[in-house]
Amino acid sequence: MKTNSNVSVLFVCMGNICRSPAGEGVFQHYVEDKGYIEHFDVDSAGTIAYHMGEPADGRMQEVAKKRAYQLNSLARKVTFEDIESFDLIVAMDVDNLLDLEALADGAQRHIRLLGSFLEGYDSNDDALSVPDPYYGGTAGFEQVLDMIEAACPKLLSHCLELLNNK
């Protein structure tokens, strides 16, 4: 969070049981693998409170485990304090982005779509959304992890710039 020297990153989806805990787990694993974990605080939240206190969806946990990712967080709802305290907030889709912007009382530079970190994309204007796999099969959960993994290099690069500017 902005009160310390670490870069704080919050991943946000609707219920905080599929995409955002996957974002948290995959990115945490990625920065640890690259040797930067001590410089990061990574968390996740949802735009609704329906699943508060629940672990990640079992199907997402199963798919993540096959790729050696741990999804240990419990669902919580994003707050206005999160908007103010996190250095980077990563929304999984346009609806999540709009909900975050409404909570923040407008667009903010530190609120980005995950898709804006995919190769070939640079802003929220043209970025892809990460599809919600909740009502689908295993392939949807795999696609979520594929997109998060693909975004990690640019996401880390962006965060290291933030770290250097602290």
- What pLDDT does residue 10 have? 98
Question: Does residue 2 have a pLDDT over 90?
Answer: no
Amino acid 1: pLDDT: 42
Structure tokens at 102: 């409404």
**pLDDT bucket at 166, cuts 50 / 70 / 90:** confident
- Give the chain's end-to-end CA distance (angstroms, integer): 11
| pLDDT surpasses 70 at 125 | yes
User: Above 90 in pLDDT, residue 57?
Assistant: yes
Active site (catalytic) residues? 13, 19, 132
**Domain residue ranges in the chain:** 7-164
Give the whole-angstrom CA distance, residue 141 versus residue 18. Answer: 8
pLDDT tens by residue, 60-115: 999 999 999 999 999 999 999 999 999 999 999 999 999 999 999 999 999 999 99
Res 5: pLDDT:
87
pLDDT confidence tier of residue 4, bands split at 50, 70 and 90: confident
- Average pLDDT score over the chain: 95
Residues 6+ apart with CB under 8 A from 161: none
Spell out where the chain has E strands: 7-13, 40-46, 88-91, 111-113
7-164: CATH topology: Rossmann fold (3.40.50)
Closest CA relative to residue 126, chosen from 116, 114, 140: 116
* Confidence category of residue 33, pLDDT binned at 50, 70, 90: very high
